[in-house]
Chain A
Amino acid sequence: MLTKNKIVILLFGCGSLLAASCTKKLNTNIDDPNGKSSVVLTGKDFFAGALVEDINNIGGVNLYNAADNYDYANQWMQYWARNNGWASSGAQQLVEDFSPNNNFSDGVWGSLYHNIYDFNFVIANSSKGSILPGASRVMRVMLFQDLVDQFGNIPYSEAEQPAVTLTPKYDDAAAIYKDLALQLDTALTDIAASQSTPDDASDVMFGGAKTLWEQFANTVKLRVLLRQVPNGDQTYVASEIAKIVQQGSGFLTVDALVQPGFNNLPTKQNPFYNDYGPGSQNYNSFCANQVMINFLDSINDPRVSYYYAPSPAGPLGGEPLGNNTFNLASNTSPLGPSLLKSPSQPGIIMLAAQSLLMQAEAVQRGLMTGDAAALYQQGVEASFSFLGVTNAVAAADSYMSGSTNGLVNFTSSTNKLQTILYQKWISECAIDGLEAYCDYRRTGYPFIAVPSQGAPGMPIPQRLLYPETEYTQNGANVNTQNQTLADLTTPIFWAKP
């Protein structure tokens, strides 16, 4: 029989052994073999991805979730439409009916806020002196502007702080806009103070070039300010534009393109090309908008055959938006060769054409000194160049000078603002539908004849409705906005009343 002592020793011995061997095992939690946690990553691991995330917001198109990006704006701005290769349903039907509902907005809202969340991570977790935090601040302003431009009042001051509140309150859109300008000032200070660091490698847009980031920040600021013209506080806008000029780096003169190394491997393609290129369902299901083709033809604009490819039957052809008796797919044009250059084409954040035409508008409105005609000309030339029109600059010049149409020829135009905005609309075709949609709501250009089709006979909406997820997850705050279906026609604060 065991004695008392032996039992105690046995117990104690077993216990010690067990305790020693287990403490080590108990510490296995952090070594996750299935992936990396943010705990072990830094800003440079996120920045390039966050830029591409933004490309997805702007350009990516998904057949099943038309609201996950700005696809709807491209359709409302008459850039493209659906052909009969695809029976309309769900989100696409809502786009055509001009009646996006609460569910419609879930995707775009969530992905923009998540994109900002990633840029915030870069701001908080980058190496000292890196340009990435400053650059991320610029990107963050762009994304918040996109949110306000689509929804009006949004969570801002309490947003993006999940450990503080899960239910952020809504802030006034005009006040957010004011803060965006201040945020860009901070961004410019940060960029100016930055040095070249190894982090620059993950800047797949400007390769860490400080001047380019400063110019881009100024251009984004111009966009924020111009949005408030002519319907906002004009004194404020003028003084802020003066500050940009004073800063001295000027505006973007090159295209802001993201190129992490897209290539033609199926998983590594440019996301827009991947979603829209030959072989995708979208390629066969969406087509040129007939309104846009007719318009470009009417002003003899050669870009029509760069934006759209020949239909399978030969000639260019399109569909009006929301048409219930479809043209055959064989007679409609898919997106063209300049939009779908190759799987390795870079992603577009902003074109130089947009920067130049915004400057032209600012000068034309007397908000800045300069030569509006020259800026206009350079803007159109930049658009031709981006599209790769043969002898782009010469072709653009002869297009403008050879036209008697006031929407093309700036000199002979009697409404120069209209000319600038129509050309801006053309230059953003299937590239930046949201910017065109904003200009349309702000200035009324271009005049778009609303198709007679569409179920409830709605006009083009002035905004998107708050997403369903806000009603389920942030009900008390979203309900302070008292939004109803009728608010689809309520303008954003900067829009034309």
Chain B
Amino acid sequence: MRKLLLLLSIWLGGLLVANAQTREVTGKITDNTGTPVPYATVQIKGTKVTSVADADGNYRIRAAAGDVLVFTSSGIASKEATVQSGGSGLNIVVTRVSQNLSEVVVTTALGIRRQARELGYATTQIKTAELNQAAVVNPATGLAAKVAGVDIRLADNGVNPQVKVTFRGSRSIEGNNAALIVVDGIPVDQQYLANINPNEIEDITILKGSNAAALYGMSASNGVMLITTKKGKGKFSLTYQNVVSAEHISYFPSLQNEYSGFGGEGGSTTNPATGGTIYFVDPLSGLANTVPFENESFGAPYSSLDFQNGQIPIGVDQNGKWYFTPFKAVPNGRKDFFVTGVGDQNELSGGFSTKWGGLFFSGDHTSKQGIIPYDTYQRNGGRFNGNATWGKLSVQIGGSYYNVSTNIAGNSYYQYRPVYYLVVDQLASTDLKSIKDISKFQNNQGFVNAYAPNPWWNIFNSRSKSSQDQLLSHVTLSYKINDWLTITGRTGYSRTMENAPSYIDSITFPSWLLGPSGGGLWNNGGLANFPGNNPGIQREVVKAHYDDWNTDAYFTATRTFGKFKFNLIAGGNYRARTSWGDWYSNQVYYENVVGANFIPSYPSKTLHSDGTADAVFSYKRYDQSAYGDLSIGYDNWLFLHGSYRNDWTSILAPKNRSFSYPSVDLSAVLSDKLGFLQNSSTISFLKVRLGYANTGNVSLDNYQRMGVMGNIGAGTQNAGTYNGGYTYLLPTFGAYAIYPIAGTIPGFPFGNNNGYSQSGTLVQNGLKPEKTGAVEVGAQLGLLKNRINLEVNYYDQQSTNQTIPLQASTATGITSYLTNAGKINNYGVEIDLSLNPVFKTRDFRFDLSGNFAYQNSKVISIEGGSVELDQINFGQIQLGGIYAEAGKSYPQIKVTDFQRDPQGHIIVGASSGLPTLNPNPIDAGSGNFRYFLGLSPSFGYKGLTLKAVFDYRGGAKILNEEGNVMDFTGIYTGDAANRQAFIVPGSVIQTSPGHYVPNTNVPISSVAGLPTSLFWWANYYNQAGMPYVTSADFWKLREVALSYAVPIRIFGKQNVLKQLDVSLIGRNLFMWRPKTNNLTDPEFSTNGLGNAVGYTTEFQTPPTRVFSASIRANIF
């Protein structure tokens, strides 16, 4: 570290020795609102003497009296001024014009603004208007389909959905692939995106590749999303915006409405109304008729019998009076459980700037209801940004505070299932709305189903709440040492605090519900599955706390020598992160009664003698780095840029903790240099570029799951067991990961005797960082005076030394071996095209922009050291797994399937007619989309604008585990077929090894007493994963926004209201999927923000569409 700093000092010193100029003209360039114009070029007319203004519009140039200075820059009309003989100050006011491709200024690493033409890598800027055209709540959702190579994936449709942001596919098999999010120069957790009011954002710069991001060090290989919030500008003004929205279910699985309940249990019971006997089994045939408290729908058709005069008893009131529900299908009885989620966003912001600085402030209150009744979301908070300049010192200070609170329905008292699961898992005769008032029932739940309790019970008696406070503050100090050297220090601090209490109420059942041992109503089933003992109210509280200090100090030097222009950045970074968490549960219940599945196996857990338990967690990570970045421009058309960075991290062993990586790129604005282009009337701008970057990444970042009662990502960790939810994810930053914690055998310690058990994970001695090498080639083309803009990029990234917890044969004693192994190749093409305008008259304008991306991540190998594997399963799911497999796209869905002959026909037993399962999981395709297409047409007519965003994604497959559950219960429309014994379509029978004949006469056989349909759907068909894999491709109409700028003149002569816009907005209006994929939105992922994409379960609520109306007023 010291050596490197010394070297940097010498380097900088060398630049200082260079001779300085003597006579100068200085001044400031501002636009007509008083806002400084950064990086304008100042040239003495008729000479090649040029200078570039700084970020605040200050310029210096050596000139003689009488020289004419020409000021040119991005987005301004060029202006000339003559140098006077007396005085050196010359302030310039310029006029803004629409931007020209060759003059765009973008924010780059460390918040440094550069002319885009100088950059040798791909950047895209999204302005607030485009981001917010559909009045999004989470800014990331407003980016979807707007930039090539940017993949925005919504994990679910809850009130506070998780949004995964990745650029250019996946580079790390098990590590983090998500883009780094930087807000005003401070790196933040991806979760922060949900805590930012999108209207506070001035612009978002996407640095897609690692060249652009090398200065951000670790995680920069995933690209960076630079969010710049608004600053005060011009005269004091205030903006108020209100958006009201309504969210509905757009797609619901299609359910069968013909067959009643039956799941194998039979018997009889006493009819509470008549005292007579209800037979669930036909006494004559012995075949099942119907069992109305089932969750499986393999009973008799509703039309075929008159069950107890059409009445199903569903509960008793406090006085012993019975409630009944009609014995017939209620077609929307389940879907209608969901409600319209109403949202309301209010935002007030304002600001101003003067010659000494500016101020911006905003406040936001957003509230939202979910489609699940009584689910709520609230966001309250605000932000301020201030900037000031005193002579050579300039200061920027900013801060934001947000509170986001959610209150959602929790899991059921039995089997811990979420609401949607319980809604779907009902019979066709269930009319959920009719049993909403659960208080009228004796057991406080309205008993309709022995296996899936009334979801209204969850709504009223099981809640998961969360309140998150997030504070982000930063200060930047810049001191101009001289006209070409500036020193900048920036420190940012963020703190996140979460308090998440959950409870599941106690429940007491009247004896009639507890099955025959309690003298109850239902002979079998009943609440047979429910532990007879009342667990009492279950409470859990998770508290978490996360601090992040990030400090940068760097020099920037800009000098021009003749035709050469140098930009140098050199500095260091220090980052300290700590997190802390506390889990409390009032019940050791999980541990002893319900089953070991529910034990949170926290090594730091303390079990108290009163039956409560708590556990504390604490993580710390420190990183430091030194970096240098030099770009050399030649004649303002050829640019060479390179950077070098060294990182030191506390999470690796001392000998591996220091690592460094370089990047280099070259770009040329050919249209400024090549004669035939300079004179071309067609081609207005052409730039080509080429870059290589190497980045290091310690892929140990992880989250500690805290709590068991929450609904976040439920079902992800333990598919196949009932639970699997968690309440909070505490960032561990990879701290302590190289020395896994030993487990403890339950009950230990006894006295002085410890009972440790080795961790199931073994870590390679001397784990190293992952390395990603990326090549990027790109071109930018402006045609017909930049009316048509085209940008094309090709990239090819190779990541080696992947840090992978390789899954081991459990015969090794462990389950995973964390090691450096594997190579992944990630490549793609991105095309952005805009036609501004396509067509234009005086009043009408039609613009179109579109983007296309192809991306593919291919696993080259999974090997390292002694490891010889060709695949790893990193996302265990019920019917298979999500794999990384050598030679295949990443990630690969592999699922179980039936034994098939070489032609793919299902092999069935010669006498049973039933298929058997192949224990080897079969390839089912990749879970990552490979083709992305976004189209954004925009129409304007006078003050009226209509904008839309279409989004296509293709090339991926998806496993809908929900289908499996629905087949098990026989509620899916497809399950209405094949109710009788049948020959498995297209099946074959093996006659001798390797020889198969078509099966023409052997129908499936069942066990005595069980209907064939039940046996087939619930015990055979749904054992294989392949039937539930479909194409995940889709087209969506993501956004439609109709806006009208109300002509201010209609309000007469006034000086208050400056602008008034009203809009009608629709989001996710339509989705077009292949017919086979009819369960849910293929964009969803049960794995949330994780890499194991490619499957969904009934733990995600159905897709929704949102309609909103907005009004926006600007005053003063």
Contacts and interface: CB of A to CB of B under 8 A. Distances in A.
> Are A and B physically bound partners?
yes
Contact of B1007 (A26, A27, A455): A455
Interface residues of B, number: 108
B966 interface: no
A248 interface: no
Contact of B813 (A45, A117, A472): A117
Given A14-B553, A48-B755, A471 B919 contact: yes
A18 B572 contact: yes
Nearest to B745: A49
A452 B720 CA distance: 30
Contact of A37 (B653, B739, B747): B739
A86 B57 CA distance: 78
Interface string A450-491: 000001100000000101111111110101000001000000
Interface string B202-222: 000000000000000000000
B741 interface: yes
Interface stretch (A159-167, A298-306, A393-401): A159-167
B8 interface: yes
A284 interface: yes
Interface stretch (B169-177, B193-201, B528-536, B927-935): B528-536
Interface in A157-212: 159-168, 201-202, 204
Contact of B533 (A155, A268, A279, A477): A279
Contact of B597 (A4, A64, A474): A64
A475 B813 contact: no
A284 B747 CA distance: 24
B8 A11 contact: yes
Interface centre among B482, B596, B750, B811 (most CB of A within 10 A): B811
Interface string B180-195: 0000000000000000
B516 A329 contact: yes
Interface in B2-27: 2, 5-6, 8-9, 12-13, 16-17
Contacts of A36: 603, 741-742, 756
Given A30-B739, A110-B810, A87 B528 contact: yes
Interface in B751-779: 751-760, 762, 764
B755 A4 contact: no
Contacts, number: 313
Nearest to B735: A29
Interface stretch (A257-265, A333-341, A365-373): A257-265
B809 A22 contact: no
A255 interface: no
A242 interface: no
Contacts of B9: 7-8, 11-12, 15
A78 B111 CA distance: 74
Interface string A26-66: 11111011111111010011101110110010000011110
A375 to B, nearest CB: 35
B757 A49 contact: yes
A324 interface: yes
Interface in A235-271: 260-262, 265-269, 271
Contacts of B814: 114, 117, 162
A455 B914 CA distance: 13
B847 interface: no
A218 B810 CA distance: 29
A19 interface: yes
A328 B619 CA distance: 53
B588 A266 contact: yes
B595 A64 contact: yes
A274 interface: yes
Given A8-B9, A15-B2, A472-B873, A52 B755 contact: yes
A1 interface: yes
A16 interface: yes
Interface residues of A, number: 107
A87 B811 contact: no
Nearest to B267: A325
B810 to A, nearest CB: 4
Nearest to B813: A117
Contact of B808 (A12, A56, A473): A473
B753 A53 contact: no
Interface stretch (B345-353, B662-670, B861-869, B957-965): B861-869
A86 B529 contact: yes
B517 A85 contact: yes
A49 B592 CA distance: 18
A38 B758 contact: yes
B265 A87 contact: yes
A215 interface: no
Contacts of B648: 22, 26
Interface in A323-361: 324, 326, 328-330
B739 A28 contact: no
A118 interface: yes
In the complex, which of the residues A14, A22, A204, A330 has the most CB atoms of chain B within 10 Å of its own CB atom? A22
B969 to A, nearest CB: 12
Contacts of A329: 515-517
Contacts of A34: 603-604, 616-619, 736, 741
B807 interface: yes
B721 interface: yes
A167 B812 CA distance: 8
B528 A52 contact: no
B104 interface: no
A284 B528 CA distance: 10
A36 B810 CA distance: 23
Nearest to A21: B574
B758 A46 contact: yes
A38 B741 CA distance: 7
B866 A262 contact: no
Contacts of A116: 813
A6 to B, nearest CB: 10
A329 B751 CA distance: 40
Interface in B517-533: 517, 524-525, 528-529, 531-533
Contacts of A32: 735-736, 739, 741
A328 B812 contact: no
Nearest to B531: A281
A443 interface: no
A87 B746 contact: no
Which of B574, B742, B752, B810 gathers most chain A CB within 10 Å?
B810
B493 to A, nearest CB: 17
B159 to A, nearest CB: 31
Contacts of B553: 14
B305 interface: no
Given A15-B572, A29-B735, A274-B592, A166 B808 contact: yes
A336 B517 CA distance: 20
Nearest to A19: B1
A41 B739 CA distance: 12
Contacts of A267: 588, 591-592, 607, 746-747
A12 B4 CA distance: 10
Contacts of B607: 266-267
Given A38-B742, A46-B758, A168 B753 contact: no
Contacts of B1: 15, 18-19, 22
28 contacts: A4-B17, A7-B16, A18-B1, A19-B1, A25-B576, A26-B648, A34-B618, A37-B739, A38-B758, A50-B755, A50-B757, A52-B755, A84-B528, A117-B812, A117-B813, A117-B814, A162-B762, A162-B813, A165-B812, A201-B752, A266-B591, A268-B750, A271-B746, A279-B593, A280-B593, A465-B919, A471-B919, A473-B807
Interface of B: 1-2, 5-6, 8-9, 12-13, 16-17, 265, 481-482, 515-517, 524-525, 528-529, 531-533, 553, 572, 574, 576, 588, 591-593, 595-597, 603-604, 607, 609, 611, 616-622, 624, 648-654, 657, 721-722, 735-736, 738-742, 744-748, 750-760, 762, 764, 806-815, 817, 866-869, 873, 881, 912, 916-917, 919-921, 1007, 1009, 1019
Q: Which 7 A-B pairs have the closest CB atoms?
A: A117-B813, A49-B755, A35-B603, A15-B5, A35-B741, A474-B809, A261-B750
